[in-house]
A = this chain, B = another copy of it.
Amino acid sequence: MTSRLVDLRRRLHARPELGFTEIETAATVVGILAPVADAVALGRDVSRPVTAAGMPTPGELALARRRALDHGTPDDLVDLLGDGHTGVVVTIKGTRPGPVTALRFDLDALPLSEASTESHLPFREGFASVHDGVMHACGHDGHIAIGVELGLRLAADRDFAGEVRLVFQPAEEGVRGALTMLAAGVTNDVRRMIGLHLGLGLPLGTVAASVHGIMATEKWTVVMTGQSAHASLAPQEGRHAVLGAATATLGLHTLPQIAGAVTRLNVGALHGGTAANIVPDRAELLVELRADSTVALEHLRERARAVIAGASDSHGLDWLVELSGRAAAVSCDDAEVDAMLAAAERVPGVIQAMRAAPMSASDDVTLLMENVQGNGGTATLVLVGAGSPAPHHHPLFDLDERCLPLAVNWLEAALRAPLADQR
């Protein structure tokens, strides 16, 4: 089993794909699991367009399709997965009665150039990224391999309760992809939702049955449009989009002080105008809001919209806020945490099983968790230590591959446990 897992992870690692262009990756999942699964749904059946902001351009999609075809991906799968809807949902049913349990695995890589030094194992062993400027530097390659291996094992031995739904989600980076699958309703009937992340600073052998401190977040693309004019001959006829955007930027950064909450606000980019002698008629802001509570995020959101509207009105601009990413600030359910801790006792290689670990970042699996919890179900997000030699999103990031079978064993143990234990 381990070699099958490692082979797949390395194959995925070598061919990383950015969010919403994971055509070859998704096709690989389908190719392995379709023969053994009860059902496989993909593309627009499990994903809905939510916003244009985070989507690749037509040119980027065409390139990704071409590359996938060149690598031997079947034409029909490229057709189904090639327009930005790369999600896959695999269903495997157990022989015992029981509810639907979903697990989320994220498919995408990062826009980062992988290290090419002998000290970096993927380079030394020959499975470093072949795509310039794209790298699996967050461990999603491991996540996918775990999900696929878990599917193979569950399909081979159906001795478990209910139905397991493996959700392979695009574009976790930028917290964009869960929105599209949520819109397609893939977790609406789920009773148990489990998210998984490798690494996050935990050593090999340490697992955590839940996380705390996870931040709710929204990513916005703000577009302000005014009126261009010759800056010397008729400045008064212009409506200066960059002045409005600059005003909004300063105003937004005055907002995050909220007593009793941890909050963040960042205008990460401002782009507007083309030439020194023209009053610019368009500016775009990339904005991120974060808070450790939904209430605080809502406060920030409302205040931020008022700042953007007011700055636009001040300078005679129209404005538009497009949501390009979102994650929630969920709590993990005790029932799930207990079940995962119980399962961990049965997994070889687990040295320490923490009830909860801090996770100050954001992950859009929280949207699926929130959806399930809102419908009366339970959820948790578990961590599996991976002994990484470098932080996530670093050119030297890597996994100690021994974490892969450990994670599969842990999830399998939890899924095969009698229902009472699970809850």
Residues of A within 8 A of B (CB): 174, 215, 217, 219-220, 231-236, 240, 242-243, 245-251, 253-254, 256-259, 264-280, 283, 286-288, 290, 299, 303, 306-307, 309-316, 324-325, 360-362
Contact = CB atoms under 8 A, between A and B. Distances in A.
Nearest to A307: B314
Contacts of A303: 316
Nearest to A238: B266
A87 to B, nearest CB: 23
Contacts of A246: 245-247, 249-250, 270
A411 to B, nearest CB: 28
Contacts of A279: 266, 268
Given A243-B250, A271-B271, A310-B311, 4 more contacts: A236-B259, A243-B253, A271-B273, A277-B288
A235 B253 contact: no
B312 A276 contact: no
A313 B220 CA distance: 20
A251 B247 contact: yes
B254 A235 contact: no
Nearest to A317: B310
B288 A231 contact: yes
Nearest to A261: B236
Nearest to A219: B276
21 contacts: A231-B288, A232-B360, A232-B362, A233-B360, A235-B258, A236-B257, A236-B258, A242-B269, A243-B254, A246-B246, A253-B254, A268-B280, A269-B275, A276-B287, A276-B324, A276-B325, A303-B316, A306-B313, A306-B315, A309-B313, A311-B311
Nearest to A279: B266
A287 B310 CA distance: 20
Contacts of A256: 256-257
Contacts of A315: 251, 306-307, 310
Q: Lowest 7 A-B CB distances belong to which pairs?
A: A310-B314, A269-B273, A231-B266, A246-B246, A310-B313, A253-B254, A276-B288
Contacts of A311: 247, 310-311, 314
A254 B250 contact: yes
A236 B324 CA distance: 25
Contact of A236 (B219, B251, B299): B299
A329 B219 CA distance: 35
A307 B240 CA distance: 12
Given A242-B249, A247-B251, A313-B313, A272 B269 contact: yes
A250 B247 CA distance: 8
A290 B311 CA distance: 24
Contact of A278 (B258, B268, B299, B324): B268
